[in-house]
Amino acid sequence: MDEWVNRTVKTVIDVAHRHIVFTIPEELRQTIFKQRLLIKVMMDCAAKTALEVLQCKGSDAVPGILAVVHTFGRDLKFNPHVHMLMTEGGLAGDKEWEEIPFLPYDLLRRKWQYYLLTELKKSLPRTSENARFIDRLFKDNGKGFYVNGESKMTSARYTARYIGRYMGRPALAEYKITRYDGKLVTFWYESHETKKRVYQALPVIEFMKRLADHIPLKGFKMVRHYGLYARRTKKIAVKILAKCKRFIQQSLAFVKELPRRLSYRQRLIASFGQDPLVCPHCKKEMELWRIWHPKYGDIFDLGRDSPAIEPEYEKTSQKGQTESNMEKSGRYRQLCLFSV
């Protein structure tokens, strides 16, 4: 996750971002559950809604949008919703950055309802039952679908860590499981209404079923980029922003190159302060020789899996003939096989 955050910091524009959560009514959850590809429709409609509301005052500014979808509620039931981070402003053509700190949330709710239900009507089978279902969702939700947008981030690093937390969040954290007696699994969650812990006990099969309900379809992207963060427009945005004096002064982070990928050894040292290749007894550096697993046997063997390393000079035999590459590689490997 830290590596993802470091990469994302370099692609996030260093301006204020708004965290917006797009939800759907309970009656619609089962429809999305049966047709999981509609989750992408949700993400696309949320981005379209945010873009139009941002431009509702006659502006043509294009914001940067990061969207992450969650399919679970706090009680592990299927409850798909979209977490979005959107820049508070955007690029208007080739002009300088245009800040738009205020969003009319009443309009945001109604637009979200309209675009989502309109797209669902196109995607679902055209039956009279589905038509009545969509009409009822319009009628019963006169103020639109609920949208929350209170959280605000002011730095690129905090924005990346914020969205990274939502991206890597599991359906249920292990520490919330308080008991397992072989038949029931007891866990807790915090109620939205009372802000207090609610304990719930589920049969093992039901508990596993709820967890399995949140496994995404193979290859499905749970994180998507829109606007200035979209792959097709990012390069153009970089060129335009580079001409803006305001962003030159702020030294945009996402114009810089990505950091070099850290090895597992470097990550362990950075995270735990311990070098995995230093012997805890003699404090000397060890060399990886063999990895063995009780079920799978040899996973790595230095003599078998290490690449052939050619010496800088060529040895010549007593007959004056140069040894073959294979013989030299084998001899060199034998010299490297040692244990500590």
Q: Is the pLDDT of residue 38 over 60?
A: yes
The least confident of 31-35, 70-74, 259-263 is 259-263
184-203 pLDDT, tens per residue? 999 999 988 888 999 999 99
User: What's the rounded Cα separation, in Å, for the pair 340 and 324?
Assistant: 31
Which uninterrupted H or E stretch holds 48? helix 38-54
pTM of the model: 0.66
- Enter the tokens of residue 42: 């949700």
User: DSSP letters along 99-158, please?
Assistant: E-----HHHHHHHHHHHHHHHHHHHS---HHHHHHHHHHHHH-TT-S-EE---EE-SHHH
Residue type at position 40: K
Burial zone of 84 (CB within 10 Å; 0-12 exposed, 13-18 middle, 19+ buried): buried
165-181 pLDDT, tens per residue? 666 678 888 889 999 99
Q: How many CA atoms lie within 13 A of 131 on its CB side?
A: 3
User: What's the rounded Cα separation, in Å, for the pair 164 and 82?
Assistant: 14
The least confident of 30-39, 67-76, 90-99 is 90-99
User: DSSP letters along 307-329, please?
Assistant: PP---SS--B-TTSPBPPHHHHH
Burial zone of 324 (CB within 10 Å; 0-12 exposed, 13-18 middle, 19+ buried): exposed
> Any idea where the domains of the chain sit in the sequence?
2-170+216-255, 172-213, 290-336
pLDDT at 133: 95
Cα dihedral across residues 244, 248, 253, 258: positive or negative: positive
Neighbours of 35 (CB within 10 A): 12
Q: Is pLDDT larger for residue 43 or for residue 104? A: 43
224-282 pLDDT, tens per residue? 989 888 876 666 665 566 555 444 334 344 444 444 567 778 878 887 888 888 888 88
CB 69 within 8 A of CB 131: no
